[in-house]
Amino acid sequence: MDRDGFALDLELSVGGGEVVAVLGPNGAGKSTLLGILSGLLRPDRGSLTVGGRTLLDTATGAFVPAHRRGVGLLAQEPLLFPHLSAQANVEFGPRAQGTPRREAQERARRLLDDVGVGALAARRPSQLSGGQQQRVALARALSPRPGLLLLDEPLAALDVDATPAMRTLLRRVIADSKQTALLVTHDALDALVLADRVVVLDRGRIVEQGPARDVLARPRSAFSARIAGLDLVPGVADGAGVRTADGVELQGKAVEVTDGEPAVAVFPPSAVSVHTVRPEGSPRNVFPVRIAALEPRGDTVRLRAGVAGAGPAWTDGLAADVTPAAVAELGVEPGQDVWFAVKATEVAVHGRQP
């Protein structure tokens, strides 16, 4: 598609029940892609098939309008009908499809219970908090049983207290319903927790794609490197921490995670201290790594770990940000074996896609 000099040129396939996160800088084509998928934009050339049904094919002239596509949307703002109750908002989609009233009511009640606001079904949007409105909006997006759910930065407008719970809710509800979804986000944690796969767009083209952790832990484009900015350790939830595949336990602060479920420990490189001998003292997570590279970053130097050496495989790509003075004092250089340490209070544990 060529729009005002901008060309969107890509081929993307999303498997049934898969969640794909689309990342990219402003102007990369994310909004254009959502517009084409939703039916709000008509490309010059291309085709779109959802669940075996052709929604768009410029070669044959096929074009299914937005209201008949069976594509749901959960945006930054809830966009609920202000004059309708939460229950009526969620009933609206199925009723518009011709679903009998009683069936639509039962589906709406079940979905409102699933998203944790069943007791608020009679309230209008003005009587709900922002987080509650977004939960109702999620139920409304799912109620018509869309073949594809578009998530357009659904957590961006929530306050910091509501975001973790809503992120966990999204992951659970989408997984339980085996919903096929495409997520547009600027948040690496959203992509990590919600998505099976990440696609990075730049100037209308795919420049990087792969499993979410691989792309975020070992970014190959400038944008994904900038957006990642996190150290990620996968495993399964174990108490307040994560147990890796090789049995190493990292302690942290769990965010609504159930023991035994796939999880990831997340912490910023700035929280990592570097030692030439194993540190003792205050409780912390300590693990050996081999330095692969030193990356100057303004007032700091990023020490990037590699897979070789005494460290376990999951340390590949982990980073620590230290001052140039600390680098000189440690005498650290590529190929050297050191110890990374991070306090448990700096580690957040989130559930993730299997």
Residue at 291: amino acid letter: I
Contact 72, 149 (CB under 8 A): yes
Per-residue pLDDT tens over the stretch 10-26: 899 999 999 999 998 88
pLDDT tier for residue 216 given thresholds of 50, 70 and 90: confident
The pLDDT of residue 266 is 85
Sheet of 148-152: strand order equals 71-74, 148-152, 181-184, 19-23, 197-202, 205-211
The pLDDT of residue 127 is 97
The pLDDT of residue 284 is 77
Contact 324, 261 (CB under 8 A): no
Residue count of the chain, please give it. Answer: 354
Q: Stretch 149-168: mean pLDDT, rounded?
A: 87
Element (H or E) spanning 225, and its range? helix 222-228
The pair of three-digit structure tokens given for residue 136, joined into one six-digit string: 């109702």
The pLDDT of residue 35 is 92
User: For residue 317, is it left (φ>0), alpha (ψ between -120 and 50) or beta?
Assistant: left
Task: Quote the crossing angle between the two packed helices 130-142 and 86-96, to the nearest 10°.
Answer: 20
In the predicted structure, residue 231 carries a pLDDT above the cut 90 = no
- DSSP code per residue over 174-186: HHHHT--EEEE-S
The pair of three-digit structure tokens given for residue 327, joined into one six-digit string: 């680098």
Contact 233, 56 (CB under 8 A): no
pLDDT tier for residue 350 given thresholds of 50, 70 and 90: confident
Tokens 């306050």 sit at which residue? 159
Q: Among residues of the chain, what percentage have pLDDT more than 90?
A: 54
In the predicted structure, residue 222 carries a pLDDT above the cut 70 = no
Element (H or E) spanning 173, and its range? helix 163-177
The pair of three-digit structure tokens given for residue 216, joined into one six-digit string: 């975020």
Sheet of 53-57: strand order equals 47-50, 53-57, 62-63
> Looking at the whole model, is its pTM more than 0.75?
no
In the predicted structure, residue 282 carries a pLDDT above the cut 80 = no
- DSSP code per residue over 271-327: G-EEESS---SS--EEEEEEEEEEEEETTEEEEEEESSSSS-GGGTT-EEEE-HHHH
In the predicted structure, residue 263 carries a pLDDT above the cut 70 = yes
Q: What are phi and psi of 209, to 5 degrees?
A: -160, 160
Tokens 């927790």 sit at which residue? 193
In the predicted structure, residue 354 carries a pLDDT above the cut 70 = no
In the predicted structure, residue 1 carries a pLDDT above the cut 60 = no
Per-residue pLDDT tens over the stretch 299-320: 899 998 886 566 688 888 889 9
Per-residue pLDDT tens over the stretch 187-199: 888 888 899 999 9
Q: What is the mean pLDDT of the chain?
A: 88
Q: What are phi and psi of 48, to 5 degrees?
A: -145, 125
Residue at 237: amino acid letter: A
The pLDDT of residue 162 is 82
Task: Quote the crossing angle between the two packed helices 130-142 and 163-177, to the nearest 10°.
Answer: 10
Contact 134, 154 (CB under 8 A): yes
The pLDDT of residue 51 is 86
Q: Stretch 159-175: mean pLDDT, rounded?
A: 86
Q: Stretch 171-183: mean pLDDT, rounded?
A: 91
The C-alpha atoms of residue 116 and residue 165 are separated, in whole angstroms, by: 11
Which residues are within 8 A (CB) of 204 and not within 5 positions of it... i.e. 6 or more apart?
6, 7, 8, 9, 10, 28, 29, 32
The pair of three-digit structure tokens given for residue 180, joined into one six-digit string: 């096929």
Q: Stretch 40-62: mean pLDDT, rounded?
A: 92
Per-residue pLDDT tens over the stretch 105-146: 999 999 999 999 999 999 999 999 999 999 999 999 999 999
- DSSP code per residue over 50-115: ETTEEEEETTTTEE--GGGS-EEEE-SS----TTS-HHHHHHHHHHHTT--HHHHHHHHHHHHHHT
pLDDT tier for residue 353 given thresholds of 50, 70 and 90: low
